[in-house]
A and B are shown apart, each in its own frame.
Chain A
Amino acid sequence: MSNWIERVEPLTLKGQIKVPYTWSVGEVGSRFLVSLRDDQKIIGNRCSECKTVFVPPRMNCGKCFKRITDWVDLSPEGKVEAFTIVRFAYPLQPTEPPYAYALIKLDGADVGFLHIIKGDLDRLKKEVRVKAKFAGKRTGHIRDIEGFSIV
């Protein structure tokens, strides 16, 4: 009787939790995404206290704990501050590997903007200049920027 457990066939059960969400983007985020969609323009905003220009913009500065009110037009160009080239494929990825994730310091911004870089990856290095490529059909989504390419 004591060793019955060793003779049990271990079963596994397949399942999946799938829950739809509708996330409010907020006033500040909406202005940012609408600007991508309608004007193909990247905008940020500046903390009145520490003067940091944030992108994506936000309602308040987490460090200074101040409401942010100043909007700033940013360039679609900037330089790569950090990157990694992704070599594995996975269904959640927006494009086929290899591609890069990069933190891009857009001209006029003070924080890194996370996005993807496609093509020309052997030329990719720190400080290299890149430019945003906008999608043809835009819906007010972060992927209205298809990706960045090396200038």
Chain B
Amino acid sequence: MERIAIVGVGQTKYERRKKGEIFYDLVYEVTVKAMEDAGFTLNDIDNVITISNDFWDGRTISCMAVQEAAGAHDKNVSTVEGDGTFGAFYGAMRVLGGFGTTLVVAHSKGSEGDPRFITNGMFDPIYHRPLGIEVLSASALQANVYMEKYGVTEEQFAQVSVKNHGNARKNPLAQLPMNITVEDVMRSRKIADPLKLLDCSPISDGAAAIIIANEERARKAHKKPVWIKGIAHCSEAYFLGDRDLADPIALKEAAKKAYAMAGIRDPLKEIDVVELYDAFSYMEPLWLEGLGFCGPGEGGRMIEKKISTMEGSLPVNPSGGVLSAHPVLAAGLARIIEGVLQIRGEAGEHQIDGVKTALAQGINGPCGQSHCIWIMGRDQ
């Protein structure tokens, strides 16, 4: 693959409700931040990709309303409806397709819609939606299947919540920094078995942007480029009943392809930090299995052994992860940005020492129907 890199990043602070800014303002804020970070002006941006969703924005073809805020005036612009990692994947392809640079921006204001009704809307309208299922109950179903199949425990899930909310205390952009215990998680309000309130990510507002550049343009950026070493995504069946919810085959396939592209043979040894889409606590161990960091059913023990803590051999979500801020659509892009900051050594208090290679993950669809994997590196 031709060499392409991430040269600029920008994020808002993630908050429960932003009343001072509308979508347009959030997109503008992170676009300016990403350009400043790269040392670029609008003239250096060749192409723009905006990521939005009509249901979340309460407006049809919602992408049209934020294009100027993304600096797309008089430019080529395309749109993605899905997680930011998938939009960034498209952005990378646009750079490989000939554009010198592409700015990718995602925004979300979960506070403005009704996440239960909106996520009910992602299910099949004929057979599933009338049953009232939405993301909380569907994810609880998946968590239960995972526990039943491998004997993973609620306490192990709770440890993920404790760890990631604890890590968030070191990230000034995180929404929910918390000093909590496993008992706090276990005692929190029951939502849908086995998930309790503290196993679930919050409703969030925020935006994120990155600039992807080809090698020539990357050399002109202000910051040291973070090279895109491997990217892949994969999808599986839509209906939950068609899948083994404890076996994330789409994730395994996406990881396999991304590792092959990046030349990674032993992910546990070669990857220094991981940013996962942990919308619910059970997702961290399950996704770690899918990513090949451990065998099937071993994710819970991996959490217990504290391998994924900031001090562990494979730090996972030092930013606090999605559990600590869940701007839907922007959340995956935030994972990529956190990987970039770690590689640059700019992650501040949640910096992991000596990061050369980072992995970021995004998901689309109910219970991780699709996964997008990014491997980024300091060195070419």
Q: A residues within 8 Å of B by Cβ? A: 5, 8, 10, 12, 15, 17, 21, 23, 25, 29, 54-56, 62-63, 81-88, 90, 92-94, 101-103, 111-116, 126, 141-143
A123 to chain B, nearest CB (A): 14
Chain A interface secondary structure, helix, strand, loop or mixed?
A: loop
**B193 lies within 8 A of chain A by Cβ:** yes
User: A101 with B133: in contact, given A12-B19, A84-B193, A85-B192 (CB under 8 Å)?
Assistant: yes
Q: Say whether A84 contacts B241, CB under 8 Å.
A: no
Q: Which 7 A-B pairs give the minimum distances between C-beta atoms?
A: A112-B241, A10-B19, A84-B140, A93-B132, A87-B190, A82-B145, A85-B193
User: A142 with B137: in contact, given A85-B193, A94-B131 (CB under 8 Å)?
Assistant: no
Q: Say whether B130 contacts A141, CB under 8 Å.
A: yes
A8 to chain B: closest residue by CB: B20
12 more A-B residue pairs beyond the given contacts A17-B59, A94-B131, A114-B241, with a C-beta to C-beta distance below 8 A = A10-B19, A12-B19, A55-B241, A56-B127, A84-B137, A87-B191, A88-B192, A92-B116, A94-B130, A101-B138, A112-B241, A143-B130
Q: Which positions 1-37 of chain B face chain A at CB distance < 8 Å? A: 19-20
Q: Say whether B141 contacts A116, CB under 8 Å.
A: no
User: A114 with B133: in contact, given A56-B127, A103-B241 (CB under 8 Å)?
Assistant: yes
Docked pose: A142 CA to B140 CA in angstroms: 22
B134 to chain A: closest residue by CB: A92
Q: In the complex, which of the residues B116, B125, B143, B245 contacts A90, with contact meaning CB atoms closer than 8 Å?
A: B116
Docked pose: A124 CA to B132 CA in angstroms: 20
A112 to chain B: closest residue by CB: B241
User: A82 with B141: in contact, given A87-B193, A142-B126 (CB under 8 Å)?
Assistant: yes
Docked pose: A141 CA to B145 CA in angstroms: 28
Total number of B residues with any Cβ neighbor in A under 8 Å: 39
Docked pose: A8 CA to B20 CA in angstroms: 9
Q: Which residues of B contact A23 (CB under 8 A)?
A: 125-126
Q: Say whether B125 contacts A21, CB under 8 Å.
A: yes
Q: Say whether A83 contacts B241, CB under 8 Å.
A: no
Q: What 1/0 mask marks residues of chain B from 186 to 200 whose CB sits below 8 Å from any chain A CB?
A: 000111111100000
Docked pose: A143 CA to B129 CA in angstroms: 11
B79 to chain A, nearest CB (A): 19
**B120 lies within 8 A of chain A by Cβ:** yes
B237 to chain A: closest residue by CB: A62
B144 to chain A: closest residue by CB: A84
Q: Of residues B19, B125, B133, which shows the largest number of chain A Cβ atoms within 10 Å of its Cβ? A: B133
A6 to chain B: closest residue by CB: B20
Docked pose: A141 CA to B128 CA in angstroms: 11
- Residue pairs across A and B with Cβ atoms less than 8 A apart, 6 shown, are A63-B237, A82-B145, A84-B140, A90-B132, A102-B141, A113-B241
Docked pose: A12 CA to B133 CA in angstroms: 29
Docked pose: A93 CA to B192 CA in angstroms: 13
Q: Say whether B240 contacts A114, CB under 8 Å.
A: yes
Q: Of residues A88, A113, A126, which shows the largest number of chain B Cβ atoms within 10 Å of its Cβ? A: A88
Q: Of residues A10, A12, A113, A114, which shows the largest number of chain B Cβ atoms within 10 Å of its Cβ? A: A114
Docked pose: A102 CA to B148 CA in angstroms: 14
Docked pose: A76 CA to B25 CA in angstroms: 54
Q: Say whether A29 contacts B126, CB under 8 Å.
A: yes
Q: Of residues A25, A87, A143, which shows the largest number of chain B Cβ atoms within 10 Å of its Cβ? A: A87
Q: Say whether B193 contacts A114, CB under 8 Å.
A: no
B99 to chain A, nearest CB (A): 34
Q: What 1/0 mask marks residues of chain B from 318 to 353 whose CB sits below 8 Å from any chain A CB?
A: 000000000000000000000000000000000000
Docked pose: A116 CA to B192 CA in angstroms: 13
Docked pose: A12 CA to B22 CA in angstroms: 10
B68 to chain A, nearest CB (A): 21
Q: Which residues of A contact B240 (CB under 8 A)?
A: 103, 112, 114
Docked pose: A87 CA to B140 CA in angstroms: 11
Docked pose: A125 CA to B148 CA in angstroms: 10
Q: Say whether A115 contacts B131, CB under 8 Å.
A: yes
User: A111 with B239: in contact, given A82-B148, A87-B192, A101-B141 (CB under 8 Å)?
Assistant: yes
